[in-house]
Amino acid sequence: MTFLDKYELLKKSIPAPSVSVGFDTENCEFIDYTYLSKNCYFCFDSFNLEDSMYCFSCWGKNLVDCRLAVECELCYECIDSNRCYNSTFLLDCNNCKDCNFCALCMSCSDCFGCVGLTHKQYCIFNKQYTKEEYLTKLQELRNEDSSKILQQMLELKKKIPHPASEQSENENCPYGDHTHYSKNSYWTFNAYWVENSGYLYEVGWLKNCWDIFTSGSDKVGTELCYELLECNFAYHCAYLFTSDNCTNCYYSSYLRNCSDCFGCVGLTSKKYCILNNQLTKEKYEETLVNIKKELGWRI
C-alpha cells in the first residue's frame, strides 16, 4: 500500500467537522469558514467581519447581503466592491461613499444609478446635478420601486464600455480579474494583496504561492505554499485542506497550530507526526526522506 493510499484511509477513518468554525470568532451563528469575526449571522468564507449577516467572502462592518465586499462599511447588496461606505446596490465599485445603484464607479460620492464614473459627485444616471438638485431628485427616487431603478441602471450599463478586467493599484498582474493591491502575479481572480504568485481564486495576503483557493486571510498572510484549499496563516506548506496556522505541513487535512506534519488529519498543536503517529524529530526526518522518494520528490 502506497503512502497516499494510507493517507486516504486515514481521512476516511476520522470524522470530519460539519462546518469549519474559524478561530477568534465571537457571537457568530450559522457560519462556515469565517475567521476573526464578531456578531455575524449566516456568513461564509469571510474574515475581519463585524455586525454583519448574509455575506459571502466579505471583510468589513455592518454589511448585509454582500459578496466580495472588502474593507466596506454600512453597505447593503454590494458585489465585488472595495473600500465603500454607506452604499447600496453596488457592482464593481471602489472607494465610493453614499452611492446607490451604481456600477463600475471609482472614487465617487453621492451618486445614484451611475455607471463608469470616476471622481464624481451629485450625479444621477450619469447626469450632473448641483447639490440642491441632487438632494431633491434623490428624495423623489426613494419613492420609486427599487427593481425599476435597478433595471434603469442596468440599461445604462449596457451602453457604457467595460474594462476587460477589474483591477486597481496593481503592478504587473496580467491575465486575471478582480485583483487589487497586488504585484507580480499571474492568473488571479478575486485576489487582494498578492505578490509573486499565480493561479489563485478568492485569496488575500499571499506571497510566493501557487494554485490556491480561498486561503490567505489576514495581514500575517500565507507564504511559500502550493495547492491549498480553505487554509489560513500557512507557511511553507503544500496539499493542505481546511488547515490553519501551519508550518512545514504537507498532504494533510483539518490541522490547527501544527508544524512538521505529513499525511495527518484532525491534529491540533502537534509536531513531527506522520499519518497521525507521533515521532521524534530524528525518526520523522528519516521516515520523511523515504516517503518523499516514493512520491518522486527531489531530495
Q: DSSP assignment of 94-150, as one string?
A: BS-BS-EEEES-BS-EEEES-BS-BS-EEEETTEE--HHHHHHHHHHHTTS-HHHHH
Q: What pLDDT sits at residue 37?
A: 92
Alpha helices by DSSP H, the chain: 3-13, 131-141, 146-157, 281-295
Q: pTM for the complete prediction?
A: 0.87
Q: Is residue 98 exposed (0-12), middle (13-18) or buried (19+ Cβ within 10 Å)?
A: middle
What is the fold, at CATH topology level, of the domain defined by 174-295? Answer: Alkaline Protease, subunit P, domain 1 (2.150.10)
List pLDDT tens digits, range 200-243: 999 999 999 999 998 876 666 799 999 999 998 899 999 999 99
pLDDT of residue 219: 67
pLDDT, residue 193, reads 93
Give me the percent of the chain exceeding a pLDDT of 70: 97
The amino acid present at 118, given as its one-letter code, is T
Higher pLDDT, 220 or 18: 18
- Average pLDDT on 4-11 reads 95
Contact 20, 33 (CB under 8 A): yes
- Phi-psi domain of 8 (left: phi exceeds 0; alpha: psi -120 through 50; beta: other): alpha
**Lowest-pLDDT range of 69-83, 87-101, 220-234:** 220-234
Model confidence at 23, in pLDDT bands (50, 70, 90)?
Answer: low
pLDDT value at 16 more than 90:
no
Amino acid 129: pLDDT: 96
Residue with cell string 510566493 = 208
What is the mean predicted confidence (pLDDT) over 97-109?
A: 97
pLDDT per position as a tens digit, 246-281: 999 999 999 999 999 999 999 999 999 999 999 999
Average pLDDT over residues 168-193: 93
Cα 217 to chain centroid, rounded: 7
Closest to 88 in 3D by CA, of 100, 70, 105, 102: 100
Axis crossing angle, helix 3-13 with helix 281-295, rounded to the nearest 10: 110
Tell me the average pLDDT of the chain: 93
The one-letter amino acid code at 106 reads M
Q: E strand or H helix at 187, and its extent?
A: strand 186-195
Residue 70 has what pLDDT?
93
Q: How confident is the model over 78-91, as a mean pLDDT? A: 96
Percent of the chain residues topping a pLDDT of 90: 81
d(CA 258, CA 272): 9
State the pLDDT confidence band at 164, using cuts at 50, 70 and 90: confident
Model confidence over 25-62: pLDDT tens digits?
A: 899 999 988 888 999 999 998 888 999 999 999 999 99
Q: Which residue has the higher pLDDT, 183 or 163?
A: 183
